[in-house]
Amino acid sequence: MTVYDIIDAKKRGNALSEAQIRFFVREVASDRASDAQIAAFCMATLLRGMTDEECFILTDAMAKSGELCRRPSAEGVFADKHSTGGVSDSTTLVLVPVLASLGVKCAKYSGRGLGHTGGTLDKLESFAGFNVSLSAQQFERQVRLVGAAIAGQTEHTVPADKRMYAVRDVTATVDSIPLIASSVMSKKLASFADVILLDVKYGDGAFMREAEDAAALARLMVSIGRAAGRDTCAAVTCMDQPLGDNIGCNAEVREAIEVLKGKQNDLATLSLYHCKKLAARALKISETEAERRAQESIRSGAALAKLGEIVRAQGGDDAALQDENVLPLAKNCRTVRAKGAGFLHISALALGRACVELGGGRKREGDRIDHTVAIILKKRAGDAVKTGDTLAEIYYNGASEDAFALADGAFRCSGEYAPKPLVYQFIGEEPKNV
């Protein structure tokens, strides 16, 4: 068996055997497969596709190509949520403390932002001193004592996926649904969550532009998760406009804290939707009861207190929970005003890119982030506006005409606006009367 033979078989549209797939992944993880061979395999997969069975085997092999995350000794059900990426999506900062306050364990591995999407680890580092690089022992101890931990995965986790993704990124094969699904789910299977909710975005600011493409990806990932014995479900959600009103690390942490204090907006709605779905499955209660408990956790302050406990446990300063000025915004402010009248349309992608241009995101892995950069929305898509109305405020340290142009172009007015539901489809409902 050779890598060449495997590439040739997939190029001809043949389904690969389990032995072929596992051999290929071993060759990738051990560096015996060249970047050129990985690129050829990825292109053949993009053009020829994979069966659900092939996808599961590929995912399982990639998950096992490195170290598997040790399950903490704490008792109870472990839940995890993964988003495919968006703009102003800080649901993890709301969801984890709410679930943990309800007794659902959240031992969560998250990532950093790249391109126009923000990263949970970057946002958590807005809390001065917050440590996202926990050892396995630290991670396990915190989950046992606090009920939740959020950290980055080690370099030894899913090494085959790291190599394949790096090649996909420069060979126009990122948009292969089988490869996206196996990349996302390999990280989930390398971990230990009992219940997994996948938030698959579609729309202007998402990787998948069309809802049906996102739904196809969601269905495949749910299939992989369930084949691995995990209780997996997915929500296909809209990312045409930013989920929250704030974009940028410090600003998004401020808003997550506001939501935990009762603020109502799309960020709050989707966060509680995910909480309801996960808590119902983890605690074996109805979704109505799960939603009631989640709302009570926020009303009582229990969720906010739990966030503070998580921050302190990971070495962070939780003063921002009581004083948002501990999370400063950049010194300069520019106002974006409506150039016409009508119903407002907002491009999440343009605003995400504007934030990156201002230094609030990364163009390349390893770039430093300015946590004080922010774009604060003063109007939402669908609002009726008049010429000259304030649409957003941009907080910046270094002027960037490209960023200002992107932000200005993110807003337009027209005579009509057709709203889309925040949740397009939920995949993975349990059969009735079971």
Question: What order of strands is seen across the sheet that includes strand 246-247?
Answer: 246-247, 374-377, 390-396, 332-337
The catalytic residue among 22, 64, 82, 379 is 82
The catalytic residue among 22, 64, 187, 281 is 187
| Nearest CA-CA partner of 197 in 92, 49, 90 | 92
Tokens of 136: 């396995």
Count of alpha carbons within 13 angstroms of residue 109, beta-carbon side: 25
The catalytic residue among 116, 168, 281, 306 is 168
Kindly report the three-state secondary structure assignment for every residue of 216-235. Answer: HHHHHHHHHHHHCCCEEEEE
Count of alpha carbons within 13 angstroms of residue 370, beta-carbon side: 17
Tokens of 254: 């401020």
The DSSP bridge partners found for residue 392 are 336, 377
Task: Identify whether 362 is a catalytic site residue.
Answer: no
Euclidean distance between CA atoms 385 and 357, whole angstroms: 27
Task: Identify whether 183 is a catalytic site residue.
Answer: yes
Total residue count of the chain as it appears in this document: 434
- Can you say whether the dihedral through the CA atoms of 59, 63, 64, 70 is positive or negative? negative
Euclidean distance between CA atoms 164 and 145, whole angstroms: 37
Task: Identify whether 187 is a catalytic site residue.
Answer: yes
For residue 364, report the phi and psi dihedrals to the nearest 5 degrees: -135, 150
240 and 381 in contact (C-beta within 8 Å)? yes
Task: Identify whether 161 is a catalytic site residue.
Answer: yes
Q: Render 196-218 in DSSP notation, one character per residue.
A: EEEEEEESTTSSB-SHHHHHHHH
The catalytic residue among 183, 191, 271, 297 is 183
100 and 147 in contact (C-beta within 8 Å)? yes
The catalytic residue among 161, 199, 240, 370 is 161
Euclidean distance between CA atoms 217 and 215, whole angstroms: 5
91 and 277 in contact (C-beta within 8 Å)? no
Euclidean distance between CA atoms 221 and 183, whole angstroms: 10
Euclidean distance between CA atoms 184 and 201, whole angstroms: 13
**Residue 217 Cα to chain centre, angstroms:** 15
Burial class (CB in 10 A: 0-12, 13-18, 19+), 419: exposed
Task: Identify whether 60 is a catalytic site residue.
Answer: no
For the chain, state the CA radius of gyration.
22
Euclidean distance between CA atoms 410 and 426, whole angstroms: 29
Tokens of 165: 């993704």
Catalytic sites, residue numbers: 82, 161, 168, 183, 187
